[in-house]
Structure 1
């Protein structure tokens, strides 16, 4: 018997039972997206917007000087600079991470609450794929931050296979296209070829802020502003990068085994 086999038998299973049972998602003490309370905003204060490098916080000139800023979590890279700069506590720390949404508008704070269901293709999706899902990952210009979190999905703690979810090297065997990066011009062609090679029904997850909105580098000479307009998106999952628990939650949303938690830019408790 090898040393590692003996060690495994001695220590027992290292995998979390979440999300099937319990709440040990591995994210205790990890900062999530900031929380935003527009009622605490001070008129004519723009300190949060001034430090936001991705323009996730912006002021609409047509709304008047007293109007609070518009906040788009789909542009947020979770740098916490708004929390540090805000003099009134309108932006505060949180542990909110399950931010996958089926409608891009649900990442806009104060936007209407969408009635769009993330698993919009109905109960037949759950019946066909509820116990098994195959994922093809495409790096469309990522910095590899999202990839480091994706690798964690197959470690002993998260053990993605226990949920019936597997990564596949071939798009012809894939149900889900998981895309990271802002979609560089060099990767747009290969990305489209991958999507077109997937059989129906197929789903797309824009993974990370870059894939959702372009992130820090979006819109420059070499890349676009995310997946919108390139391929149809079923789930938008911001974060820089989204943590493994958020990735699992988004994948389970596809097959109706997890519920969308954010609507109108706010986490529903």
Structure 2
């Protein structure tokens, strides 16, 4: 018996039971998306807006001096600069990791939107995929931050295969197209070819802030502003990068085994 075989038998299973049961998602103490409380905003203060490099925090046009800033989590890169710059505590650090949504508007802060019912991603005829899902990943210009988190899905702790979810090298065997990066001009064609090669039904997950909105480099001479307008998107998952727990939650949303938890920019706790 080899040393590693003996060690494995001695240690037992290292996989988490989450999300099937328990709450050990592997993210305790990890800094997440900032929390926003517009009631604490001070009139004419623009410290958070000035600090936000991706314009996730902005004022409407024309600016209403009495209105708090508008927040779009789909543009947030989780840099925490807003929490450091805000003098009133309207933006505070949290352990809330990014969550997928089925409509882009649900990533924008809106009190009215937070009360509505989200569009259901899974149609009745697609529930046959509930116990098995195959993913084709396309890197459309990512910095590889998202890829580092994707690799963690197959480690012993998360063990994605236990949920019936697998990565496949061929789009012809894939149910889900998982795209990272802002969609560079060089990857626009290959991305469309991959999408067209997938059988129907098929889903798309815009993975990471770059794929959702373009991120830091979006809209420059070499790349676009994410997946919108390129291929239809079923799940928008922000984060820079989204952690493995967020990725699993988004994948389970596709097959109806997890519910959307963010509406109008607010997380249902």
Structure-1 residue corresponding to 2:53? 53
How many angstroms does 1:122 deviate by? 2.0
RMSD: 1.0
TM-score (norm 1): 0.97
Q: Partner of 1:223 in structure 2?
A: 223
Contact 1:142 1:180 in 2 (8 A): yes
Deviation at 1:10, TM superposition (A): 0.4
TM-score by length of 2: 0.97
Q: Residue 130 of structure 1 aligns to a residue in which SS?
A: helix
Aligned equivalents of 2:16, 2:175: Cα separation in 1: 25
SS at match of 2:188: helix
Counterpart residue number, 1:154: 154
The match for 1:40 is: 40
C-alpha contact (below 8 Å) 1:103/1:118 kept by paired residues: no
Do structure 1's residue 97 and structure 2's residue 97 form an aligned pair? yes
Aligned twin of 1:80: 80
| Match of residue 117 from structure 1 | 119
Report if aligned partners of 2:134, 2:166 keep a CA contact under 8 Å in 1: yes
Q: Which consecutive residues of structure 1, in runs of 5 or more, have no partner in the other structure?
A: none
Residues 26 and 245, structure 2, Cα contact 8 Å, conserved in 1: yes
Distance of 1:172 and 1:213 partners within structure 2: 27
CA drift of 1:98 comes to 4.4
How far is 1:125 from its partner? 2.0
Q: Partners of 2:156 and 2:4 in 1: how far apart?
A: 13
Q: Following the alignment from structure 2 to structure 1, what is the Cα–Cα distance between the partners of residues 61 and 44?
A: 12
Q: SS where residue 39 of structure 1 aligns? A: helix
Distance 2:151 2:206 in 1: 17
Deviation, structure 1 residue 2:
1.4
Partner SS for 1:62: coil
Partner Cα separation in structure 1 for residue 78 and residue 239 of structure 2: 7
Distance 2:257 2:118 in 1: 16
The alpha carbon displacement at 1:149 in A equals: 0.2
1:63 CA drift (Å): 4.6
Structure 1: distance between partners of 2:85 and 2:147: 30
Correspondence for 1:139: 139
Find the aligned partners of 1:95 and 1:110 in 2 and give their Cα distance. Answer: 21
d(CA) in 1 for partners of 2:176 and 2:61? 40
Q: CA deviation at 1:117?
A: 2.4
Deviations 1:53-94 (A, max 9, x none): 000000113351111000000000000000000000000111
Distance 1:72 1:159 in 2: 32
Aligned-residue offset at 1:123: 3.0
Q: How many residues align?
A: 267
Report the alpha carbon displacement of residue 3 of structure 1 after superposing the two structures with TM.
Answer: 1.2
Q: Distance between the aligned counterparts of 2:4 and 2:20, measured in 1?
A: 27
